[in-house]
Amino acid sequence: MNETLSNPALPAPYTSVWVVIPAYNEQRSVREAVQHVQRYIPNVVVVDDCSKDRTSDEALEGGAHVLRHPINRGQGAALRTGMDYALAKGADVIVHFDADGQMQPEQIPHMVKPVAVGDVDIALGSRFLVDVSNIPPLRRIILKGGIVFTRIISGLNLTDTHNGFRVMNRYAAQKICIVQDRYSHASEILDEIAKHKLRYIEIPVTVTYSDEAMAAARERGQNSFNAIKIAFRVIWGKLLS
Amino acid sequence: MVIQLLISTVALLVIINAIGKLRQKTFTMPIFIIWSSLWVAMGIVVWYPNISNIVANILHVGRGTDAILYISLIVIFYLIFRISARLEKLHQDVTKLTRAVAIASPKEKR
């Protein structure tokens, strides 16, 4: 409960950890997500990607710093906005977290630690290092496809390539360039890790696929078949770059 | 005959339009020359289709119409690629602007 920044496990130079939460139409869950995260990390910035509901107000009530995109630009763009803000605030460590309640805030300190002590530049959450029985079968197949795709495109050997739970140090946050605005940013981040030879580690995390969270994801236009669109965008982005 | 007249009329209108754009300085001279030449060539080919056979022979393609088709496809694909690249750049610029606006006005609970 009180495993906050004062936790002696986190060394003195890394006194500034910021959690970036991109949010789009998350009024139902964002306040709770912010409050849960703040039990562990007090600095939270929510980037409201031009939601049509009360996401900004709810995040503000929850106690987060709130940035609002005047135009919807996608999750990748929102993450980069939050990262730029956190870096300007002097963040030494940045955490990517979701607003939909699927991730477990109590796992943040475990994710932060290897980055904070300087063992790695970036820690990536993996759903496949723990029991995967809670992941819906279709989602599991698509995610496995993503792993193969990433191995071909980036050359990284990971067990989970599209997990939004990440922790990175300031150096990595400055190096990683996200130009893909929509969901293809996950592949792009992995590309950047390979390109800049960032030191990384995968850490087991649990993702809860509650009916409510899955319904909210569908409302936001996420579905398993987006994977094909994402793969196309990644390849197309490489051709255009 | 009908298709020849139709294409010739369209070509003529496009060239007149291009002259107007050149005068308004919307078109630079190189763009005007390329664009007008394309339509003049099209006008000539519809009246004298055998000319395209000369191009076909140079390219070792069976018929003149095939040569035109192949060249058109290459040009169209190239243009689509260029437009996509330009569109992507525009998207990225819009995102940068959006980001700057968002970061300029953060909100915090007092």
Tell me: pLDDT of A231 over 90.
no
Tens of pLDDT, residue by residue over A55-79, are 999 999 999 999 999 999 999 999 9
Partners of B108 on chain A (C-beta within 8 Å) are 60, 65-66
User: Exposed, middle or buried by CB within 10 Å (0-12, 13-18, 19+), for A169?
Assistant: buried
Partners of B93 on chain A (C-beta within 8 Å) are none
The minimal CB distance from B94 to the residues A45, A65, A71 is found for A71
Tens of pLDDT, residue by residue over B51-97, are 888 878 887 877 877 888 888 899 899 999 889 889 989 999 999 99
Cβ partners under 8 Å of residue A4, min gap 6: A39, A40, A41, A42
Asked if A66 and B106 come within 8 Å (Cβ–Cβ), the reply is: yes
Query: Cα distance from B93 to chain A (closest Cα, Å)?
Result: 10
The minimal CB distance from A85 to the residues B98, B101, B103 is found for B103
- Exposure pattern of B34-45 as b/e (b: 16+ CB <10 Å)? ebbeebeeebeb
CA dihedral A61, A67, A72, A75 (to 10 degrees): -90
8 Å CB contact between A155 and A232? no
Asked if A70 and B88 come within 8 Å (Cβ–Cβ), the reply is: no
Q: Does the predicted interface ipTM exceed a cut of 0.90? A: no
Tens of pLDDT, residue by residue over A187-229, are 889 889 988 999 999 999 988 876 666 666 666 555 556 666 6
3-state secondary structure of A67: strand
Whole-number average pLDDT of chain A: 83
Q: What is the pLDDT of residue A178?
A: 84
8 Å CB contact between A35 and A62? yes
Partners of A81 on chain B (C-beta within 8 Å) are 98-99, 102-103
- Torsion sign (Cα): A109, A112, A113, A114: positive
Identify each DSSP E strand in B1-60 by its residue range.
Answer: none
Q: What is the pLDDT of residue A239?
A: 63
Asked if B94 and A73 come within 8 Å (Cβ–Cβ), the reply is: yes
Report, in this order, helix, strand and coil percent for chain B, each rounded to 5. 85, 0, 15
Cβ partners under 8 Å of residue A72, min gap 6: A24, A49, A50
Query: Cα distance from B83 to chain A (closest Cα, Å)?
Result: 11
Element (H, E) at A84: helix A75-88
Q: Is the overall model pTM greater than 0.90, yes or no?
A: no
d(CA B20, CA B26): 9
Cβ partners under 8 Å of residue A89, min gap 6: A16, A18, A43
Mean pLDDT value of segment B20-42: 89
The minimal CB distance from B109 to the residues A47, A60, A81 is found for A60
The minimal CB distance from B102 to the residues A81, A88, A237 is found for A81
Residue where the block lists tokens 């910035």: A45
8 Å CB contact between A11 and A114? no
Tell me: pLDDT of A107 over 70.
yes
The minimal CB distance from A47 to the residues B84, B92, B102 is found for B102
d(CA A150, CA A65): 33
Tell me: pLDDT of A36 over 70.
yes
Answer left, alpha or beta for residue A165, where phi above 0 means left and psi between -120 and 50 means alpha.
beta
Query: Cα distance from B104 to chain A (closest Cα, Å)?
Result: 9
Report phi then psi at A191, rounded to 5: -60, -45
Residue of A nearest to B106 (CA): A67
Q: Is A80 on the interface with B (CB under 8 A)?
A: yes
- The residue with greater pLDDT, A51 or A133, is A51
Q: What is the pLDDT of residue A137?
A: 77
Residues 79-98 of chain B whose Cβ lies under 8 A from any Cβ of chain A: 81, 84-85, 88, 91-92, 94-95, 98
pLDDT above 70 covers what percent of chain A? 78
Mean pLDDT value of segment A19-44: 94
